[in-house]
A and B are shown apart, each in its own frame.
Chain A
Amino acid sequence: MPADDMAAPHLEAGEVAAYIDRRLAPAERDRVEKHLSACHECRGEVIEVAHVARTLPRRRRWHWLAPAVAAAAVILFIVATSKGIQQFTPDTGHRGEQGTAPVAPVPVAPAGPVATVDTLLWSSVPHTNRYRVRLFDADGAMIWQTQTRDTAVALPTSVRVNPGVPYYWRAEARVGVERWVESPLTEFTLLAYRPRQ
């Protein structure tokens, strides 16, 4: 229990987790929200757990993201040092192609708190020759967009990213004439410079 000295019982661990995972039935959800409206301590818990849970190093994603990031880093190096490389798609190796539904690109970086933002990276989509990337500020205003054949693009220095405020971006892959599949909106925040301890 989060507190030991209040008369009204606080939410149970299972209730908090199920609330955050959106697994409660409407009546239970309503009861939990009533408690939350009146209880500062449980609200703090819900906010923090939701934050921690969404920034967890996810094990399943991690397994294929790790090689994807490594591959993307190698590819960036190859593209930067040698023009004319045709195959620059990270091979994640773990995702099969599913039926006929077009696969959306998956943002790889930046995501969450990041120390630098110079390049946007995303996973490749089969049978596409064009990606579109859009960057939004915290108010939802689009501050930059570009198109590329690559699965990575450098952020131009003219686009100013301020530390400490959230930004959002998504990658879209063209899968037909004026048909695009888009990734989820991905949030990142540039960390302020902090000296190492």
Chain B
Amino acid sequence: MADALPAELSRLLGAGDAPARDEAWAGFVRSYSPLLIHVTRFVCRSHDAAMDAYAFVLEQLRQDDLRRLRAYVADGRSKFTTWLVVVARRLCLDHYRQRYGRVREAPADQLETRLARRRLADLVADDVDPASLSQPVGTSPDTEMRAGELRAALRTVLAELPSRDRLLLTFRFEDDLPVRDIAHALGFPTPFHVYRRLNRLLEVLRRSLARRGVEDASP
């Protein structure tokens, strides 16, 4: 299902001598600079840092006889523009890390811990008490133990889910991502479809837990 190579890219990779290659490179830069600048502006906070990163990305793309661009030809499963966004973003992050250190930390808690902290019943019911959603459960030895049981049971139940459903729950409850971003990443047609699927999944989790004799971790 590989796409035909974009004209600018195939001209660049096919250029025979140095002047032809310089000219093809100029054409490539003209065509893809809006994309590359869009990426660098997304990753970098200031205009200057974005322009700096843009220059770095161009230099890296051209390096080693266009090694990175040739890698797209060898793979070719995606659209060239999507691939270029991935590569440019990675280069930007490398550049950013070299200059400013680490970018961001992973969340401390895993999915089952995050879910155990919430009352699954509340997540599906209409009358959600927003205060209950973020309160830790384990405040006494008894509730601590029940939360531990719930986490263990959740881990088992989550492991049985199809990977796409598990990923959906992870995006939502471990990463706390907005539903519209999840819809775009997972290919749901609209955010409403994500809500619908999440509600269905939480219902499934609740039933599986009930079958195992584990009730919600109600405080």
Contacts and interface: CB of A to CB of B under 8 A. Distances in A.
B135 interface: no
A50 B184 contact: yes
Interface residues of B, number: 49
Contacts, number: 125
B199 interface: no
Given A40-B107, A140-B190, A197-B47, A49 B163 contact: no
A16 interface: yes
A182 B93 CA distance: 40
Contacts of B195: 139-140
B200 interface: no
26 contacts: A2-B90, A13-B83, A13-B86, A13-B90, A14-B76, A17-B79, A21-B82, A33-B167, A37-B163, A37-B167, A40-B175, A43-B175, A44-B104, A45-B86, A47-B177, A47-B181, A48-B89, A52-B42, A53-B85, A56-B35, A57-B35, A57-B38, A139-B195, A140-B192, A166-B180, A197-B47
Interface of B: 1, 31, 34-35, 38-39, 42, 47, 71-72, 75-79, 81-83, 85-87, 89-90, 93, 104, 106-107, 111, 163-164, 166-167, 170-171, 174-175, 177, 179-182, 184-185, 187, 189-192, 195
Interface of A: 1-2, 12-18, 20-24, 29-30, 33-34, 36-37, 40-41, 43-57, 59, 138-140, 166, 168, 185, 187, 197
4 smallest A-B Cβ distances: which pairs? A17-B78, A14-B75, A33-B163, A18-B77
Given A37-B111, A47-B175, A56-B38, 11 more contacts: A17-B79, A21-B82, A33-B167, A37-B170, A47-B171, A49-B89, A51-B184, A56-B35, A56-B85, A138-B191, A139-B192
